[in-house]
Amino acid sequence: MNSSKIIKIHTYIAKIRFIYWVLFVLYYVVRAAVNNCYLGDLFDVISRVLISVLIILDFAYSRKNYNNNFQIIQVIRTPMAMWSSVNVIIHSDRIYVALLSMLFFVALVIQILYLTDIFRFRHKLIMFFIILLPMLIADCVKIIQMSHWSFIIHLILFNLILFTYMLVMITLISHVFAENNLEMKRLRNELFIMKQNVKLDNLDTEKSLENAYERLSHENSEMLVENLIQQYISSSLEISNLMKLISESLSEALVVNLCSIIVKNEYDESYQYNSRAICESIKMEHFNSHIEDGSLIKCFQDFREPFVDNQVDMKRYDFLEGMNIKSLLIYPLVNEENWLGMLVIGKDTNDYFLNNMSFFERVSTQFSIALMNARIYTKMENMAMKDGLTGIFNRTYMIQKINEYISDIVLNKGSLTVILFDIDKFKKVNDTYGHLFGDEVIRVCADAAEEVAEKNHGFAARYGGEEFVIVCKEKSINKLHQLANQLHTKIKETKIKYRGSTLFVDISIGAAAYPTTCDNPAELLDRADKAMYHSKISGRGCITFDGEYE
């Protein structure tokens, strides 16, 4: 289970706890008001205030997903667990309070030890003892205060049972989580015992055992790398980030001299890559230049099976110039025979790839699957954000983006400009040339809007039908005039061709700027729309700026 899912579990727990806390508070308030009950001594009041503050703080951070930081959860819930353990002792004469506190304590301990980033068994025990320390102190205070031996014995027995139960539970659960590590330790111990008990007759026998140990160590490193890669794949859909993490893991854990992951972009012939050399003396510029000019990819992009050379002749491989590579592996990344990219591994020893091809096959398969999942995710994300016909942002995402811009400029006292334009007489285009030609007109206008927006560090969106929006930050009123005229001229002078037909179109533009023409940035779209409407009723094919028609 990756960290984001664990954080989500913690948010649910915090919300449920908050609801129950509200119900308990209402219960005690109503009870006190109706029965004129005594609210308790100073300790009870302080205790209730403390746990209330912690529960509210936990709920508040849960709404921010704890900033994806397990330490925040530990800092908040550790005092909760301490408080509940002390309550068990302080209220031992009130059995229902003690039982509720005990349940609260056990639940919190499990959350802290097994739903955060405390992995090692000894760290879990240390944290458990830290949580239990206030309870032990409360025990001592209670024993000093009480003179009744039977009560003292019961208290000691209760704590021994609780301590034993929690310790056994922590040990058993940790044992399950550590099963793979224990198995590896067992194998190492068996190898060590074998070395001690068997009398080595000659150097060949000793060397074979050392080789077995090296193979075991190497397999252990491969297992660690596979586990790391699975964690990276489950926690990220960012291809560039995955490439970086996987290349680092392979080069560092396996101590290979060269590791490079090359991925072909889905919609064009460009490539992204991440190359890493374990030795700083190896200069990667020459190798990377062969990726960038396409020569390395051209040599191997038709391969669907791995290319292996365990006796490298450096003269055969220009891209390895300056590297002491004696074994080379180029493993294709494929999906249903479609070439997605390749994994390049180089090692400074001969015959390195004789016994580990299955490992690189698994790594390549995992990464290929992750790459396809990331592309599917990107497509779904684009479907949610972008207009299907034009490829620019849709209206829903545009509103979200504008709200983000507004928050930023209000906070930093910046400026924001909005241009809204409409294709003139678009219905006539559809009626005369057909809807397919009309779609082409919309695409051309969208491309022009996107080009102008990107040059001015803004974005373009389809507002609906034949209406489009350009949004830019930090533009003066003079720059706004230039931008609007630039857009108008570009679309007006663009010749649109489709299936033998040619057409020029014109547009009506409305523009508004905060704070120059508009005091409220939330009204920018509406004011730009009104300005555009004025352009329409003024004869079309013109530009109207907010405030000019009032």
Question: What pLDDT digit, counting tens, does each position of 92-144 carry?
Answer: 666 666 677 777 777 777 777 766 766 666 777 777 778 777 777 777 777 66
> What is the reported pLDDT for 356?
82
> What is the reported pLDDT for 207?
59
Which of residues 177, 194, 209 is at a domain's end?
177
Q: Is residue 376 located within the same domain as residue 399?
A: no
Does the global pTM surpass 0.85? no
String of DSSP letters for 107-166: HHHHHHHHSSS--SHHHHHHHHHHHHHHHHHHHHHHHHH---HHHHHHHHHHHHHHHHHH
> What is the reported pLDDT for 418?
95
Q: Is residue 329 located within the same domain as residue 408?
A: no
Closest CA relative to residue 511, chosen from 416, 386, 446: 416
> What is the reported pLDDT for 133?
78
Q: Is residue 371 located within the same domain as residue 468?
A: no
Place of tokens 């849960």: 62
The mean pLDDT value for 330-346 works out to 88
454 in any annotated domain:
yes
C-alpha to C-alpha distance for 541 and 538, rounded to whole angstroms: 9
Q: In this model, does residue 464 exceed pLDDT 80?
A: yes
**Which string of b and e fits 244-278 if b means at least 16 CB within 10 Å?**
ebbbbbbbebbebbbbbbbbbeeeeeebebbbbbb
CA separation, residue 339 to residues 294, 305, 369, 371, 378 (Å): 15, 11, 13, 12, 19
CA dihedral 542, 547, 549, 550 (to 10 degrees): 170
Q: In this model, does residue 203 exceed pLDDT 50?
A: no
Domain that holds residue 38: 3-177
Stronger pLDDT, 214 or 258, i.e. the higher one: 258
Answer left, alpha or beta for residue 434, where phi above 0 means left and psi between -120 and 50 means alpha: left
First-to-last alpha carbon distance for the chain, in angstroms, is 61
Helix or strand run (H / E) with residue 526: helix 524-537
Average pLDDT over the chain, rounded to whole? 80
491 in any annotated domain:
yes
Q: Positive or negative, the Cα torsion across 292, 296, 298, 300?
A: negative
472 in any annotated domain:
yes
Strands 507-514 and 543-545: parallel
C-alpha to C-alpha distance for 57 and 52, rounded to whole angstroms: 8
- Record the tokens describing residue 232, joined without a space: 């990276």
> What is the reported pLDDT for 175?
58
Residue range 412-424, pLDDT digits in tens = 889 999 999 999 9
Q: Is residue 369 located within the same domain as residue 425?
A: no
DSSP β-bridge partners for residue 509: 421, 543
The mean pLDDT value for 343-357 works out to 88
C-alpha to C-alpha distance for 90 and 418, rounded to whole angstroms: 65
Least confident of 9-13, 340-344, 399-403, 443-447: 9-13
**Helix, strand and coil in the chain, % to nearest 5:** 65, 15, 25
Helix or strand run (H / E) with residue 38: none
Q: Provide the 10 A C-beta neighbour count for residue 109.
A: 23
Specify burial of residue 344 (Cβ count, 10 A radius: 0-12, 13-18, 19+). Answer: buried
Which of residues 381, 409, 439 is at a domain's end?
381
Q: Is residue 11 located within the same domain as residue 152?
A: yes
CB 515 within 8 A of CB 481: no
203 in any annotated domain:
no
- Record the tokens describing residue 271, joined without a space: 């490539």
Closest CA relative to residue 409, chosen from 521, 313, 304: 521
Percent of the chain with pLDDT over 70: 78
Stronger pLDDT, 19 or 213, i.e. the higher one: 19
Most confident residue range from 166-170, 356-360, 458-462, 501-505: 458-462
Q: DSSP state, 474? A: S
> What is the reported pLDDT for 106?
76
Stronger pLDDT, 300 or 27, i.e. the higher one: 300
Stronger pLDDT, 335 or 237, i.e. the higher one: 335
C-alpha to C-alpha distance for 510 and 350, rounded to whole angstroms: 70
Q: Is residue 171 located within the same domain as residue 276?
A: no
23 in any annotated domain:
yes
> What is the reported pLDDT for 65?
79
CB 531 within 8 A of CB 495: no
SS3 279: coil
182 in any annotated domain:
no
User: Would you place residue 455 in the very low, low, confident or very high pLDDT band (cuts 50, 70, 90)?
Assistant: very high
Most confident residue range from 39-53, 181-195, 531-545: 531-545
195 in any annotated domain:
no
Q: Is residue 261 located within the same domain as residue 128?
A: no
- Record the tokens describing residue 456, joined without a space: 């001015």
The mean pLDDT value for 307-334 works out to 89
Residue range 55-100, pLDDT digits in tens = 888 888 888 877 777 788 778 888 887 887 777 777 766 666 667 7
Stronger pLDDT, 214 or 288, i.e. the higher one: 288
Q: Is residue 506 located within the same domain as residue 400?
A: yes
170 in any annotated domain:
yes
Q: In this model, does residue 206 exceed pLDDT 60?
A: no
- Number of domains, the chain: 3
Q: Is residue 167 located within the same domain as residue 235?
A: no
> What is the reported pLDDT for 155?
63
C-alpha to C-alpha distance for 46 and 293, rounded to whole angstroms: 70
Helix or strand run (H / E) with residue 548: none
The mean pLDDT value for 489-501 works out to 88
Which of residues 351, 381, 411 is at a domain's end?
381
Q: Is residue 408 located within the same domain as residue 369?
A: no
Q: Is residue 531 located within the same domain as residue 496?
A: yes
Residue range 267-280, pLDDT digits in tens = 777 888 988 887 65
Q: In this model, does residue 520 exceed pLDDT 80?
A: yes
C-alpha to C-alpha distance for 535 and 548, rounded to whole angstroms: 11
> What is the reported pLDDT for 191?
67
Q: Is residue 249 located within the same domain as residue 143?
A: no
C-alpha to C-alpha distance for 503 and 480, rounded to whole angstroms: 28
